[in-house]
Structure 1
Amino acid sequence: MTRIDRLTHAAAAVLVVLALAGAPAGAAPPEQSFVKYYVVRDGGETLYDLAARLLDDRDRYSQIMHLNTGRAQPDGTVLTDPGRLRAGWVLVLPWDAYGEGVTYGIPPASEPRRPDPPEDACARDGSGADPDWAVLRVAANQAWGHSRGEEQVVAVVGSGVDGTLPELTGRVEPGVNAAGTPDRADADCLGPGTAMAAIIAGRAPGAGGFNGVAPDATVLPVRILTTAPDASPEVQAAGVEAAAEADVAVLALSAAVDVTRADVAEAVASAVEGGAVVVVAAPAGPPAGPTLSDGVIRVAGVGADGRTAAEYRHGAVDIAAPGVNVVTPGTDGPVSGGDYAVAYVAGAVALVRAAYPELTVTEVRHRVLDTAEPMTEAGRPDARYGWGMVDPAEAVSRDLPGETGGDPGTPLTAGGRPGGDGSVALVIVVLAGLVAAALLGLRFRRLWQE
C-alpha cells in the first residue's frame, strides 16, 4: 500500500469517527428508521404488562405511552388508554426493551403522522379518551424521584381555592382577595381555581386518589373573581401585583386574566423581575397588546387527540398541556379550558424550581420548554403546539449542557429533541469538511502522478 493510500484510508477513518461523535449517545433512530417495536397479540394485554415484561419496570408504561400517543394504528384508531390495547396494534418501544415479541426493524404499517382529526365537532372534547388521560399523559409521578415541588409556593390568580377539598387539606394558604369584597381567598364559588390548585399541588388523601404534579408544593390563592367569571383589568392587575408581592416562585394565571391589557402586562413584567415564573393561557385571536416578558410561559390546552381547547393565535404558543376533557378534584366531571393546561405547566415549573433552586427565571423557562415532548414531525418550535407537551420527568432529570437562560436549545436532532452543544456540532462539521477536502486533494495528486 502506497503512502497516499495509507493517508486516504486514515482520512476515511477520521470521517467515520467524526460522524459517530456527532450522534447523541444512546439515542434511538428516527421512527421511520429501524426501531424496537411490539405487535399486540390479544386485547388482554396492557401497557403495564408490557412495561413489566419488556422493560423490567411497570412504571415505565408512560414511556411507551409517550412514544405511541397520536400514532395511527393499522385499524385507524389511536392509543389513549394504557389499560386497553387491541390485537394487531404496533407499539414503538424504548431503545432498551428486550424479550419475547420485541422486534428490531421498520414497524409494519407504521404511520408517524398524527391522524387527521375527525370532522365531528363533538370530538373536540376528546370524547372516547380515558377520563384520566391527562394524568397518564403527563406522568408527573416519574419526576418525583428528583423533585416533588417541596418548599415552592404557587400563586393561583383566579376564582379562589377551596381549602376544604380533601386533596388540598393543609396545602392552601389563606391568600389574598384582590376583588375588593370581604370574601375569603381560600374559598371558591366558581370552581376553576380549586381545580387548578388540585392539578398543581393536590395530594391524595388515600391510596389510589388524585395527586397533583407537585404534591409537596403549597398554593397561595389570589382571588379576582367572586360569583361572575370576569373581572375588570384593574382587578386583574391588582391580583397579579398581590401575587408578586407575596414573593412566590410561580404565578399561575387563570384564563380570566387578560395579559393583552397594558396594565396587566406591566404587572406580569414586574412579577418576572421580582423572580417569579409566570404561566398564562396562550392568547387567542389576532395579535393584540404588548409583548410579554421573557419569563412568561404561554400554554395551549390540548386534548388526547391533539385538538386544542381554543383557536390560539398562530405562533403565540410556547408549550402544550392537557386542557380538554380533564378530570380533577373540584369539578363535577370532565372540564376543558386554558386554566387546566396552565396548572399542569405551573406544577412542572414548581418541580424544576425545587430541583434547581440556583436557576434564574429565564433558565427555568428554558428548561421546561427545552424538555417538552414534540407533538409534530416537523420539528420545533411548532406554531400550533410550541415546543410540545410538557414533560415534568424530563424537565427535572435531563442534563442540559450550558444552560444560559436563552431561547430553548438549538440545534435539534432528527427526532425533534434538542441536540447537543451547538459549538461542538459546528466543530464537527468544519473538521469533516477539512478532511473531505484533504481526501479530494490526495485523489487529484494521485491521478496527476499516474
Structure 2
Amino acid sequence: MTRATARPGRTVSALMALAVAAGTFMAALTAAPAAQADSWRDKQYWLAESGITKAWEVSKGANVKIAVIDSGVDGTHPDLAGVLAGGSDMSGAGSPDGRLSIGAKPEHGTLVATLLAGRGHRPASAKASPSASPSASASASPSSSPGSDGLVGVAPEAQLLSVSTWLGSDNPGGKTDQEQIPEAVRWAVDNGARVINISLGSTSPEWPQSWDAAFLYAEQKDVVIVAAAGNRVGGNVQVGAPATIPGVLTVAGLSRRGTASIDSSSQGISIGVAAPAEDLVGGLPGGGYADWAGTSGATPIVAGVAALIRSEWPEMTAKQVINRIVSTARDAGVPGKDPLYGYGVLDAEAALKADVPETKVNPLGSMSDWIRVHRRGNAETSAASAAPAPSDVAPTLPEPTVPVAQAPSPLDGAVPALVVLGFGSLLLGIVGAAGFHLRRVLRNPPAATGPGDTGVLDTAGSRDRH
C-alpha cells in the first residue's frame, strides 16, 4: 500500500475536489424529457460488456444498503423512486436527510446514484398494470422490460443511503473534509451500509490522521469501501486519498475500447480493479440526464457488483467480497497486478458465478495493520477513541483548495526519452573528457618513477603545470 502520513505542510487538503480530483468531467448536461429516456438507456454499454446483465441471473442487490458519500442524492429523480432508504448531511449546509444537492458539483451524487442503483421508470403514457408495478420495474433488465424508460443501475434492487458532504469549494457550514469524511463513513456504517461508495478523491496519496479511526471502524464492522482512483485530466497522475487507504477497493478507469483511459486513469499500487469510465450516462437532480466520464462513474459500477455479491452471500466477509472481485478480473496490461489496471478489468459475471477459493486476508491490505505499523499506536484503542466529530485531533491539513483541472501534458510521455537523452549526453561528456585528458597525458608523459615513487599519475600536479 502507498504509505501515507499526516505531516503538516506535506498533506494536501484539496482533498475532496469533486470533478477536479476524482471524478467527473461532463460531456453534456441535458434535461431530457421522459419520452427520450430510452435513448439514454441504450447508451449503457457496460451492463452487457462488463458482464452485469449475466450477473443479474444470480443477484440484483436485494436487501443490501449502499451508502453514497457524495454531494447529496436527489431521490425525486424518476429513476430513483423508492431507492433511498435514508440519509444524513455531514456538511452543516445541506438538508437533514442528505438529499439536497450541495457543494462544488451538486449534480455529482445523483449521477453516481443512478449508475449505482437506478431502477428506471414507466413512461407517463403507460397504463398501470400488475406487470408495471414499481417492484417489477426495479428488478427488470433493459432487455426484458420493453417500454421501461430511464436508467438501470448495476444493483437495481439495492437501497441507497445518501450521505451529503460539501466538498470542492468553501463550505458555508464551516466543516472541513477532515471532519466530514470520517463522520460520513461512521454514519454509513452505523446505519446499515454493507457497501460504501466514495466517488471522491484528492491530488495527494496522504490522508489526515483524523480519518484513521473511521476507516478502521468500517473495516472492523465488515463494510466494503469502494473509492475512485482519480483522473489525469483532473490533475491526478497518481492515485489520491482515500483510494490509497489500505483495504479500500480502488477503481481505475477504462476507455470505451477497454484500455486504460488517458483522461480517467490515474495510476498507483493501490488500484484493485478497472471499470468503464468513458461515455457514461447518469441522472441529474430534477429528472434530467447527462453524458459524463471519470473514475467517479467507474466506482459505482464496481460498488454495485459488490452489492450483488453481498446480496447473494449475506454472510460473506468484506475481505472475501473484495477478493472475489479482484481475483475474477480479466488480466490486462503487464501480466499480474500492475499500477494501471490493478488485478485487471472487472468481470461481473465471473464475480457472481466463478468458484473462488475462500480467503481470510484482504488482498488490498488492512487498515488495522497499517495503523499499528505507521501510526505506532494500537488499532483497537484508535477505533474505540474515534468520535463522529473528532475534536481532540489537531488539524493536519491546510484549508481545502481546488486545483485547476488541466489536460495531461504532452511532456508526460516524453519523460523517459528525456531521461535517456540526458543520460546519453552525460555519458558522451564523460567519454569526451576522458579522451581529451588521455591525449594530454600522451603528449606530456609523466617522469620516470624511482624506487620511492608510487607509480600513480599526479593529475593534480599535471593540471597545475598546464
**TM-score normalised to the size of structure 2?**
0.55
**Matched residues, number:** 280
Matches within 5 A, 1:152-171: 152-171=64-83
Q: CA RMSD in A?
A: 2.9
Provide the residue aligned with 2:189 in structure 1.
Answer: 244
1:401 to 348, 357, 371: 357
Q: Is the 8 A contact 1:364 1:405 kept in 2?
A: no
Matched, 1:375 2:332: yes
Whole-angstrom CA distance in 2 between matches of 1:150 and 1:404: 25
CA contact (8 A) 2:323 2:362 kept: yes
Q: Distance in 2 between matches of 1:162 and 1:171?
A: 10
User: Is 2:248 aligned against 1:302?
Assistant: no
3-state DSSP class of the match of 1:380? Answer: coil
Deviation at 1:393, TM superposition (A): 1.5
What is the one-letter code of the residue matched to 1:186?
A: R
2:90 counterpart of 1:178? yes
What are the equivalent positions in structure 2 for 1:78-97 lying under 5 Å apart? none
Q: Distance in 1 between matches of 2:229 and 2:121?
A: 33
SS at match of 1:333: strand
Shift of 1:336: 1.4
Q: Report the equivalent of 1:340.
A: 297
Which one-letter code corresponds to 2:249 in the other structure? Answer: I
The answer on 1:223 being equivalent to 2:164 is: yes
Q: SS in structure 2 opposite 1:389?
A: coil
Distance 2:117 2:191 in 1: 18
Give the residue type in structure 1 aligned to 2:227.
V
How far residue 238 of structure 1 moved from its aligned partner, in angstroms, is 1.8
Structure 1: which amino acid aligns with 2:206? T
Q: CA deviation at 1:381?
A: 1.3
Q: Deviations over 1:81-131 (max 9, x none)?
A: xxxxxxxxxxxxxxxxxxxxxxxxxxxxxxxxxxxxxxxxxxx98xxxx94
What is the CA-CA distance between 1:224 and the residue it aligns to? Answer: 0.5
Question: Secondary structure at 2:152's aligned position in 1?
Answer: coil
Alignment-mate amino acid for residue 300 of structure 2 = A
Q: 1:290 Cα shift?
A: 9.1
Q: Which piece of structure 1 moves more, 184-193 or 305-314?
A: 305-314
SS of structure 2 residue aligned to 1:300: strand
Contact preservation (8 Å) 2:90, 2:183: yes
Contact 1:300 1:309 (8 Å CA) reproduced: no
Structure 1: stretches of 5+ with no match in the other structure: 1-123, 409-450
Aligned to 1:441: none
Choose the corresponding residue for 2:154, options 201, 209, 213.
213
CA distance in 1, matches of 2:341, 2:163: 29
| Cα distance in structure 1, aligned partners of 2:339 and 2:201 | 24
Could you list the runs of 5+ residues in structure 2 that have no partner in the other structure? 1-25, 28-41, 123-146, 231-235, 365-466
- Give the equivalent residue in structure 2 for 1:202: 118
Partner of 1:277: 224
Please tell me whether residue 360 in structure 1 is matched to residue 273 in structure 2: no
Confirm or deny that 1:187 pairs with 2:100: yes
Displacement after TM superposition at 1:228 (Å): 4.3
Instruction: Indicate the SS of the match to 2:185.
Output: helix
Partner of 1:323: 277
TM-score normalised over the length of structure 1:
0.57
Q: Distance in 1 between matches of 2:88 and 2:205?
A: 20
Secondary structure (helix, strand or coil) at the match of 2:120 reads coil
Larger Rg: 2
How much does 1:187 deviate?
Answer: 2.9
Q: Does structure 2 retain, via aligned residues, the 8 Å contact 1:247–1:274? A: no
Quote the residue 1:137 is aligned against. 49
**2: distance between equivalents of 1:270 and 1:201?**
25
8 Å contact from structure 2 (residues 199, 227) kept in 1: yes
Distance of 2:268 and 2:246 partners within structure 1: 18
Q: Helix, strand or coil: the match of 1:319?
A: strand
Contact 1:269 1:292 in 2 (8 A): no
In 1, Cα distance between equivalents of 2:157 and 2:240: 37
- Match of residue 314 from structure 1: 268
Shift in Å at residue 286 of structure 1? 5.2
Q: Which moved more, 1:224-233 or 1:193-202?
A: 224-233
CA distance in 1, matches of 2:109, 2:312: 26
